[in-house]
Amino acid sequence: MGPSANRRSGNSRRAQYTTFFSYVAGGAGAAVGAVFLIISFFQPGAFSWLRGVGADAVAPVSSAAAGGKTASRNFFESIGGYFAAGSKNAQLRHDLERAHVRLIEADAIAAENHRLKALLGISTQGERPVATARLVGSSASSTRRFATLDAGTAQGVAVGMPLRSQLGVIGRVLEVSRGTARVLLITDTESVVPVRRAKDGIPAFAQGRGDGTLQLRLISLGINPLKRGDVFVTSGSGGLYHPNVAIAVVGSVTTDGAIAQVLSDPGATDYVVVDRPWASEAQAAPPSDEPQAGAR
């Protein structure tokens, strides 16, 4: 390819000034970006209104496309079912997976009932979800793991509310605008969820690794009792996430814990449920609300 248009401004004052000021403007743009960046480091929520406006603006399109996504995936799933072993296969496998998770959760609940027979005074049975909505977007090219929910203050969603799908915990609400909310997924590196092993209640923290897996850190140090295939559920400590919701299954054991696969792939969920924080105290002081605050 030949050289681009003549870059030499020659003797023309006007051309010289134009070139000069375009460079000055470019440098000024970089400086403005740096200032914004410093502001957003010290006040992560400073520009949330701008993101909210943007998300609200594209939300109708995203929601419509999300509906299309579900429809098209179901379509291809049923075609895949025909090719594999009949059209019901995919549906049955889906149901079985769900039932499997439910079974583990039931085991966890039974174990807890057994342990805390005397202490079971708190009833959370009548709890109704705040909203049911779709995840309509995510920060797919960033190292942070955020998603956009197509429900906002208009549907009663507030900052700090936990989200779950049929298969397990998804994340929590970080910023809310009128019609959308920004969700911190549990796989984000700043997300820490208190968990325990479903069968015997060994407590641990599940921290995101940013690549779709969780790092499980045991609270009591010593011999690592974890094994591949162990299922973890939320413990409810901290008061944000409801206890006994399935979250992850151990994939590989490390020296001080394990790396676990998340059970509820947010990309494969149709609808998610927004709950109130489990304990009302959590609304006053959530365990780690600021996305930039060191949650480690």
Partner 1 sequence: MIQPRLGPRIASRRINRAPSPLLVRTVPWVTVVLASMVPAWPYIATAPLLPPLGFLVLIGWQQIRPGLLPIWAGLPLGLADDIFSGQPFGSAILLWSLAMIALDMIDARLPWRTFLLDWVVGAALIVAYVLGCMLIAGANVPLVAMAPLLVLAVFVYPLVGRAVALFDRFRLLPLAKVR
Part in contact with partner 1 (CB under 8 A); list of ranges 24-32, 220-228, 240-248, 279-287? 24-32
Nearest CA among 237, 194, 235 for reference residue 216:
194
Residue identified by tokens 């609200």 is: 56
Part in contact with partner 1 (CB under 8 A); list of ranges 38-46, 85-93, 96-104, 244-252? 38-46
Nearest CA among 186, 187, 242 for reference residue 209:
187
Q: Does 28 bind partner 1 (CB under 8 A)?
A: yes
CA-based angle 117:122:125, to the nearest 5? Answer: 105
Question: Site mask, partner 1, residues 229-268, x = CB under 8 A?
Answer: ---------------------------------x--xxx-
Part in contact with partner 1 (CB under 8 A); list of ranges 65-73, 115-123, 195-203, 234-242? 65-73
Residue 144, both tokens: 């942070």
**Least CB distance from residue 44 to partner 1, whole Å?**
7
Question: In a 3-state reduction of DSSP, which class is residue 70?
Answer: helix
**Least CB distance from residue 22 to partner 1, whole Å?**
5
Among 137, 168, 179, 238, binds partner 1 (CB under 8 A): 137
Number of residues that bind partner 1 (CB under 8 A): 68
Among 12, 17, 36, 76, binds partner 1 (CB under 8 A): 36
Distance separating alpha carbons of residues 258 and 225, to the nearest angstrom: 10
How many CB atoms within 10 Å of residue 154? 12
Nearer residue to partner 1 within complex by CB, 28 or 110: 28
Residue 196: CB partners within 8 Å, gap ≥ 6? 202, 203, 204, 232, 233, 234, 235
Part in contact with partner 1 (CB under 8 A); list of ranges 36-44, 95-103, 245-253, 274-282? 36-44
What is the torsional sign of CA 59, 131, 214, 104? negative
Burial class from Cβ neighbours inside 10 Å (0-12, 13-18, 19+) for residue 217 reads middle
Question: Site mask, partner 1, residues 138-157, x = CB under 8 A?
Answer: xxxxxxxxxxx---------
Q: Does 293 bind partner 1 (CB under 8 A)?
A: no
Q: Does 212 bind partner 1 (CB under 8 A)?
A: yes
Nearest CA among 290, 285, 50 for reference residue 190:
290
Residues 266-285 that bind partner 1 (CB under 8 A): 266-267, 269
DSSP states along 165-187: ETTEEEEEEEEE-SS-EEEEETT
**Least CB distance from residue 67 to partner 1, whole Å?**
9
Q: Are the C-beta atoms of 201 and 183 separated by less than 8 Å?
A: no
Q: Does 46 bind partner 1 (CB under 8 A)?
A: yes
Interacting residues toward partner 1 by CB under 8 A: 1-5, 7, 22-23, 25-30, 32-41, 44, 46-47, 50-51, 53-55, 58, 61-62, 65-66, 69, 134-148, 185, 187-190, 209-212, 262, 265-267, 269, 292
